[in-house]
A and B are shown apart, each in its own frame.
Chain A
Amino acid sequence: MPGKADKILEQVERSRVWRSIFRSGQGSSPLHRALAIQQNVFLHLFSTKVRKRMLGFSATWYLGALTLGTFLILIITGVLLMLYYHPSVPQAYADMKDLQFVVSSGLFLRNLHRWSAQVMVFLVFAHMFRVFYRGAYRPPREFNWVVGIVLLLITLLLSYTGYLLPWDQLAYWAITVGSNLSKAVPLVGDKIHFLLLGGNEVNANALLRFYVLHCLILPLAALLFIAVHFWRIRKDGGLYVHQSDPKTVAASKEAAPVKEEK
């Protein structure tokens, strides 16, 4: 009976407890809906209104939202994987085997984490190119573009540090190839290489360093910059693409071929 359910929901929304948590009050007026965004610590990063033309799939392809989706999946699966993982040699590899054969749904968990990570890297690149081609990096949105580049780098580092954790041949040699590049930095190359790995080659110290970076430092940095990234969308004038701006469209129509009058 929908009538009864609605009544119960209404009673809950009117209760003192509910009202103490959600300050926006009940109701579906534009004011209440605006307050629902404004009065929430997470949602207030966003603006209360969005340009209607930005909602269509073609405007953004929802690439930013999907990237956030992969990030959330990665946090959830990542925390669960941490319960079964020891960042030590050779236990790390044994834990991989346990995930594969012993832990319930362990294989699925690792698959989901791994594939989501690959998809996230792809989506971040796609998002960047999409924002560029739609002209959304233009002033006053310059700084948010820069924040986006920082997030691209953090994403690559997250993926790269995670790559070592299974401690298999694939991980070991990919990180060896990559970290050897740091040796090529003029003057301080060897120092950077040593700092990165905690030794002169990929070993147990490197595994621990990559684990701390992957599970603590980089996710916190990502969260921080994601918050700034979202908040700046609102501060810089809301979701916008130059290409479909009514003024731009009108200007490009002027440039279209003119029929000869004869």
Chain B
Amino acid sequence: MSGPKEFIAGFDSDQRRSPTRVVFVTRRTSAQVKANYEEQVQTYPEVLFRVVLAIELLTIALVVLSLLFNAPLEGIADATHTPNPAKAPWYFLGLQELLHYFPPVIAGVLAPTMLIVSLVIIPYFNINIESEGLFLHDRQRRLQLFYLIAIGLLVFLLAFHVYVAAVPTLLIAIAMVVAAYSSPQSTVAARRYLANKPLAWWVMTWFLFELIVLTAVGTFFRGPGWSWVLPWGS
């Protein structure tokens, strides 16, 4: 609780109209209306119409897809007959790819838990609310930290032979170096774009990139014994 505040008390003089109304106005505080005038449209019918239309178009697309392609169905479940490789659903294949390199307690428990926790806390840290370029403030310290973390992460991934995850990390790190040595007033659009990106953008983009690469590798490029295969190879 903050310290005692000074109040200005005001009484309505007309007792018959408002018998017991007391108003306290704290000092130097006045009612402020933060109006934000923006053009608006009515939900009914403008927005609802568009939403229904979007859902209908999606339904048509899905119906066509279902008419053209059959859902996979293999032989009946057989506990004595392990397929090679036994794959999880596609959205977990990124994790399964990590399982190939790390023990289950790290890749299967720790990594997903950390991932969910970090997604949940994103909006609660001011660094993620910041919308200014990462290297525009406190440049020296941030550059040092960046090199420390990027090189540490790369060494870690290479030490465990996780080249699949190291490549996206390296590419994002290179883009960040470009950003660090670009001005937000640069005449090159791409450099201007990168220089204005905040930390949260970089981390999320790195995660998105890893997610796509790991899932794609697990889905298309992994065969018997989790060895490398080409999706078009027989």
Q: Which residues of A contact B (CB under 8 A)?
A: 30, 33-34, 36-37, 43, 46-53, 55, 62, 65-66, 68-70, 72-73, 89-90, 93, 96, 100, 107-108, 110-116, 118-119, 121, 125, 128-129, 132-133, 135, 137-139, 141-142, 145-146, 149, 153, 156, 159-160, 163, 166-174, 176-178, 180-181, 183-186, 201-202, 242, 246, 248, 252, 255-258
Contact = CB atoms under 8 A, between A and B. Distances in A.
Contacts of A119: 58, 62
Given A177-B86, A184-B109, A55 B39 contact: no
Contact of B65 (A46, A47, A115, A202): A115
B94 to A, nearest CB: 11
Contacts of A72: 55
Contacts, number: 198
B232 interface: no
A132 B86 contact: no
Contacts of B81: 169
10 contacts: A51-B40, A69-B54, A69-B58, A114-B71, A139-B129, A174-B87, A180-B104, A181-B104, A186-B105, A248-B131
A139 to B, nearest CB: 7
A52 B41 contact: yes
Centre residue among B40, B45, B67, B124 by max chain A CB count within 10 A = B40
A34 B42 contact: yes
A111 B77 contact: no
A115 B62 contact: yes
Nearest to A28: B45
B7 interface: no
A43 B86 CA distance: 45
B149 interface: no
Contacts of A183: 104
Given A47-B43, A168-B77, A185-B109, 14 more contacts: A33-B44, A33-B45, A37-B43, A37-B44, A50-B40, A52-B38, A115-B66, A119-B58, A119-B62, A168-B73, A169-B77, A169-B83, A172-B77, A184-B109
Contacts of B79: 172, 201-202
Given A69-B58, A90-B76, A176-B86, A132 B42 contact: no
Contact of A159 (B83, B91, B120): B91
B204 interface: yes
B88 A178 contact: yes
Nearest to B208: A129
Interface residues of B, number: 70
Contacts of A185: 105, 109
A184 B99 CA distance: 11
B26 interface: no
Given A37-B43, A46-B43, A255-B185, A184 B104 contact: yes
Interface in B15-66: 38-48, 50-51, 54-55, 58-59, 62-63, 65-66
B208 A169 contact: no
B231 interface: no
B119 interface: yes
Contacts of A128: 119
Contacts of B76: 90, 93, 167-169
Given A141-B123, A149-B120, A115 B71 contact: yes
B170 to A, nearest CB: 22
Contacts of B152: none
B186 to A, nearest CB: 7
B69 A145 contact: no
Contact of B75 (A70, A135, A141, A168): A168
B196 A48 contact: no
A184 B103 contact: yes
Nearest to A237: B36
B144 interface: no
B108 A181 contact: yes
Contacts of A129: 204, 208
A73 B58 CA distance: 10
Contact of A111 (B47, B69, B91): B69
B233 interface: no
